[in-house]
Structure 1
Amino acid sequence: MSRLDGNERWKSKMLLTEHVERYDEHHADGDAQGAVSAVQERAPRERNIITTEERAMLRDFILLPHMEKMVEKSIADVENGTNILRRAHLMAGQKILDRIVKDLYGLRRELKQRNIRILNEEHADLVVYHRYFCRGYEDRFGMTRDVMRSEISVRLARYTSELAALLKEGAMK
């Protein structure tokens, strides 16, 4: 029972008829039924808010193109160099680049399926912001340059260790 039950003062306040009807329906159906409808009313709004997993996807979507450019630049530097192991470095760099492009492609498909769009990039002080739309909900996602650098180095180390594992596995056979 709410404080408004039995109190006639609330009827004199400016309320929309829809609110009064919803209140009456809510209490006429009983507490159990009303609780279910309240959860159902809140559910669409809660689905629009971005989840932690989707935030990680946004982060990856922002970082992967930077990583792709870095690896491409590194490959170009190796091509123009005079290193004895140039061909091995080129093959390793190309394999890592292929993996980054594959991950970026899969990430784009997943974001599209979840109805998440990432728009322009804005720079403010040392933070890089990206605007995104998530099922009608608009917000900004920001990362500092230091965080981006550290995340990129961790990711590149992971790709390199995956490549090393593949090489070891191939050597074992």
Structure 2
Amino acid sequence: MEYTDNTLKTLYIWAADMLWEKLEQDNRRLKAELKRIGCKVVESKRHDDPSAVYYDYWLRGYHDEFGIMKMLVVSEMSMRLSGYISRVKEDYKPSKS
């Protein structure tokens, strides 16, 4: 196989598309579950804390808010990304013939 930048670029684009599809599947499933139980979550604009992101939520007539530390979000994203990569690798394992 001849090495070209185009070959690797195509591979990277394919891999990114597969990862994005897995992420979107989980996102759609989560949104559907929140809708099913009647929970609405929106980002809060009331806080100026640069180290956290705050959200308001409504569920069964109750309203409250919660915050997520940004460093925890980065850590969770890293773990989930490695999980998505594992799922893509499982889905596209070459068959041994």
Same-fold call, TM cutoff 0.5:
yes
Tell me whether 1:106 sits opposite 2:38 in the alignment.
no
Shift in CA distance, 83/142, structure 1 to aligned 2, threshold 3 Å: farther
Structure number with higher relative contact order (C-alpha < 8 Å, ≥ 6 residues apart): 2
More helix by share: 1
Tell me whether 1:119 sits opposite 2:42 in the alignment.
yes
* Distance apart, 1:151 and its partner CA: 0.3
Render the CA deviation track for 1:26-58: whole Å, top value 9, x for unaligned: xxxxxxxxxxxxxxxxxxxxxxxxxxxxxxxxx
TM-score by length of 1: 0.48
How many percent of aligned residue pairs carry the same amino acid?
Answer: 27
Tell me whether 1:171 sits opposite 2:95 in the alignment.
yes
* Distance apart, 1:84 and its partner CA: 4.0
Structure 1 portions without partners, runs of 5+: 1-81
2:74 corresponds to:
149
* Superposition pairs of residues 70-81 of structure 1, within 5 angstroms: none
Shift in CA distance, 136/89, structure 1 to aligned 2, threshold 3 Å: same
* Distance apart, 1:121 and its partner CA: 3.2
Structure 2 portions without partners, runs of 5+: none
Counterpart residue type for residue 143 of structure 1: I
* Distance apart, 1:171 and its partner CA: 2.6
* Superposition pairs of residues 49-60 of structure 1, within 5 angstroms: none
Counterpart residue type for residue 103 of structure 1: D
* Distance apart, 1:167 and its partner CA: 2.3
More strand by share: 2
- In the alignment, the residues of structure 2 paired with residue 167 and residue 114 of structure 1 have an alpha-carbon distance, to the nearest angstrom, of 34
- In the alignment, the residues of structure 2 paired with residue 116 and residue 142 of structure 1 have an alpha-carbon distance, to the nearest angstrom, of 17
Q: CA RMSD in A?
A: 1.7
